[in-house]
Structure 1
């Protein structure tokens, strides 16, 4: 009888722990939404964002693999709650955004803090400790780009490792696959994740081929644009050019815009003639997106 009571007590405690963790995340999300959208001063809002983002540079909150708030503790115990690849590009976005903010504010102290944090970031250090580029996926390439943009110590070593990873993703078509097991597929995520890095590698290594790779990766995707539009499909099949998924997926449009804008910035900075072509694409995309902007300044899903 005592054994049954003990087992039941343990099970009840486990269930209670799972429920409490789920409730804690729900309440934290709810509390975090207070005051959102009520900022009257844009600069004050940006400064508040920067303070929170800056506090995350040492250890960013784990980004869940799935957008659901149930059985979180169980997911953590199984090791399926967070994912290093997702965390990599999320952290990259954080650092790139803060770097742009610091440049806009001419805040050299923040720039130096970002450099130090990136140099010590576990994902960056782990990458350099593993000499086999085929073990990494495309998701982490945006973090490498953030390292190069910040001018971190050992940037040349990162550029060399990044170039090796790009080569490991190159297919017979001469461009990069999102996943090695799908060499005949292309996804719009790759535009934002790889093209800026390829251009940065061209700058650091002096190899013209990486400029060409970045341009070809973008031009190759034209077959997957919505007819008469600048909106890219989520993916496409190389052999027949069949578009796959949505053309109006906001995050996909974001990946596409990120790739175009960063390429244009680097190309213009280094006097590349391809910058004009990127500018035309950016303007066409912006003109098509602006009529879809909501009154509050945001965009729908």
Structure 2
């Protein structure tokens, strides 16, 4: 009898020790990985290590922790609460875009490796997507691909998923089938893909669909006379949900408008988005902090988020390219300087807000985020193009 009790207690001890060891590992990494953070000799040493991290994370991107738990992390992993596939897809998308746009990388080889990882020999997804989050991954694989016809089955399948999520009530693309909310995230995740698909495969109706998403969100989802988006709005009452001016939420709005504009064929819709981009660029400039960063909430400059800052760095680099205003290039460069100061010596960008739990329920974790890492590289690549021209 006592022998069984002894072995049972021994098993509990070993299991407990394993759980504690995993928690200690993450605590140790979180605490000491920031040693000498931001102490780069120059931009070249920084971007070399930064880019190396992007390449290392492709095509199998490290999992992003979606919970804020610091204890029993192994249990979260076992029960599937540590990360989600839909979150991983847009993390990978950000990395693919950054890696392909940085001229020091072999874009053809990178795309070949990433395409092979996600798409089979018949041009279809190896693991078929089930939600609209994957649209951004589809966008990243299609944007620089030289084999657009080969991967068309996968792109067509992604379009079919998006169409399943178009609401009969207002023709808006919904984030999931269980919600009556219209999220700002969806604009950035889906609209650029729709426009790119329309351009490459000559299906103009999807450009119209993307433009209508932006137009309708502008009408209901922005704070009056500003370009501060709500996290979401409720479809029946048209009332906002969550805060206006959430940094990464504004980033999703920016990506939806900017990347859609870039891929859009000449049209009245493109001209309207061009005018809107100019107004947005002038409006958001007031929210840049003195150190070059942008906040978790834009209106509160005491907060800081590297994921928002990376998107704004990319946005203003593109705006300089479009409108040729030197002040936009300066905003982008100052944002990149801030990102450099927040990059660990391993090359990982730090201080990125973790994944949100729901509308208005924000993560308290500020760590690395592959998506932000990719957009930081997109910003650097774009501002280098500006300097070269």
- Normalized against structure 1, the TM-score is what? 0.89
Inter-partner Cα distance in structure 2 for 1:299 and 1:38: 21
Alignment deviations for residues 170-222 of structure 1 (CA, whole Å, 9 cap, x no partner): 1222221111223x421000000010011011023211110100100001111
Alignment deviations for residues 141-170 of structure 1 (CA, whole Å, 9 cap, x no partner): 110111111306433222211221121111
Residue of structure 1 in register with 2:90 after alignment: 89
Unaligned runs of 5+ residues in structure 1 are none
What are the residue-to-residue correspondences of 1:1-301 with 2, within 5 Å?
1-101=2-102, 105=103, 107=104, 110-122=106-118, 124=119, 128-129=125-126, 136-151=130-145, 153=147, 154-172=150-168, 173-182=170-179, 184-222=180-218, 223-267=220-264, 270-301=265-296
CA contact (8 A) 1:116 1:152 kept: no
Cα-Cα RMSD: 2.0
CA contact (8 A) 2:228 2:245 kept: yes
SS at match of 1:128: coil
Higher relative contact order (CA 8 A, sep 6+): 2
Alignment deviations for residues 234-266 of structure 1 (CA, whole Å, 9 cap, x no partner): 001223311110112111011111111101111
More helix by share: 1
Inter-partner Cα distance in structure 1 for 2:48 and 2:289: 24
CA contact (8 A) 1:170 1:176 kept: yes
Deviation at 1:8, TM superposition (A): 0.9
Q: For residues 43 and 151 of structure 1, do their structure 2 counterparts lie closer, same or farther at Cα, with a shift above 3 Å needed?
A: same
Unaligned runs of 5+ residues in structure 2 are 297-389
Q: For residues 127 and 30 of structure 1, do their structure 2 counterparts lie closer, same or farther at Cα, with a shift above 3 Å needed?
A: farther
Deviation at 1:72, TM superposition (A): 1.0
CA contact (8 A) 1:231 1:285 kept: no
Inter-partner Cα distance in structure 2 for 1:120 and 1:259: 27
CA contact (8 A) 2:166 2:172 kept: yes
SS at match of 1:61: coil
How many residue pairs match? The answer is 289
